[in-house]
Amino acid sequence: MPALCRDCFSAVAPEAPRCAACGSPRLRRHDELLDLSIAHLDCDAFYAAVEKRDDPSLADKPVIVGGGRRGVVSTACYVARLYGVRSAMPMFKALKACPNAVVIRPNMKKYAAVGAEVRRLMEEATPLVEPLSLDEAFLDLSGTERLHRHAPAETLMRLARRIEQEIGITVSIGLSYNKFLAKLGSDLDKPRGFAVIGRAEARAFLAARPVSAIWGVGRAMQERLARDGLTTIAQLQDMDERTLVGRYGGIGLRLYRFARGEDARRVDPDGEVKSISAETTFDTDVSDARELEAILWPLCEKVSRRLKRAGLAGRTLTLKLKTAKFRLVTRQASLGTPTQLAEVIFREALALLRREADGTPWRLIGIGASVFAQPSEADRPTLLEPDRARKAKLEQAMDRLRERFGEETIGKGRGLRR
């Protein structure tokens, strides 16, 4: 059975408890170790890790990166997780579980810069990197053995060490023969994990896992499957393709294939962004319609800037609201002409908001754009709005001033209402 030391990358005897070259116990053995090339790399507790890197006094303390008491946890370090703190947990619950936690407001500009450093190192390992977020990506190392003069597994181990030494954070890696299993693998042995899932054990490995482990099976689908008595992947493995497709349609085919460890998706460096959004959680519930409108405007500006930077225009807008009791409400509008303009996004979002602003207290509001088109198709004049091109030029001029002199340089009057 092939075995490698994760610290010095030496080949290790199959039964050796430690590396003979450096004495490290961090060994990885697997029959298919030298044959697999699809990986998922995930930074460990990314935001919190960056904060601890920048402030060594936080090293052994529980750190939570997130909003105020009314916000949610963006990231909890592994010390905080020992207290039961988890990502997306309401802050008041997190602080109740871990009252001595150090709470840090997110610094997305800093995290994006660190994420770009990690991306650069990944792309030195292979050009086939498909980012999923700032802190995770799929990598396809097929064909890199000739370039690096060692197997993909060793390239990944070397990459993990470079990230630790040069950037100062740790990562976990899942290595397999497809994206689905690689993603599952990266979560098996955190932090500083390196899990391998080969073809031989894939079906048995999946059998004991819940149906929620399958990509795309969210809460609603889990509940639907549970009503049909299906809670584990083993049960899906016992069903034939025709039955699953007949009962669940297109997702039934995915259930059939993924339950058997089959995933034909390739690692795509140009993978599409599905949506661009911005949201905020209030320190106290907001029910006043005018206040909600004032809060909505800067979110629309933020989405507009992100669309322009990404070179995208949105055809569909989604308003997101969350009640004081955490009930999520979403409302959508489809646009006749795709847009990048904050003014258009705000106008459409405001129409959606006014239908919901009936005095209900809300704890969160957000706006997102999706179903993208090219900028060349965006904001063309129409019979109902012949001056849209003029509005686009005005926003572009404002954007240039902001880029040169700062975000607060210029703005519209409605931005002052708060």
Cite the active site residues. 136
* 3-class DSSP state of 21: coil
Q: Report which residue type is found at 392.
A: A
Strands annotated E in 287-358: 313-323, 328-339
* CA distances from residue 155 to 68, 117, 125 in whole angstroms, order as listed: 41, 17, 7
* 3-class DSSP state of 366: strand
* CA distances from residue 406 to 22, 126, 409, 410 in whole angstroms, order as listed: 52, 36, 6, 9
Q: Report which residue type is found at 241.
A: E
**Distance (Å, rounded) from C-alpha 156 to C-alpha 178?**
16
Comparing CA positions, the residue from 200, 163, 205, 223 lying closest to residue 42 is 163
**Distance (Å, rounded) from C-alpha 314 to C-alpha 87?**
29
Beta bridge partners of 102: 63
* 3-class DSSP state of 41: strand
Contacts of residue 249, Cβ cutoff 8 Å, sequence gap at least 6: none
Apex 239 CA angle, 237 and 244, nearest 5:
110
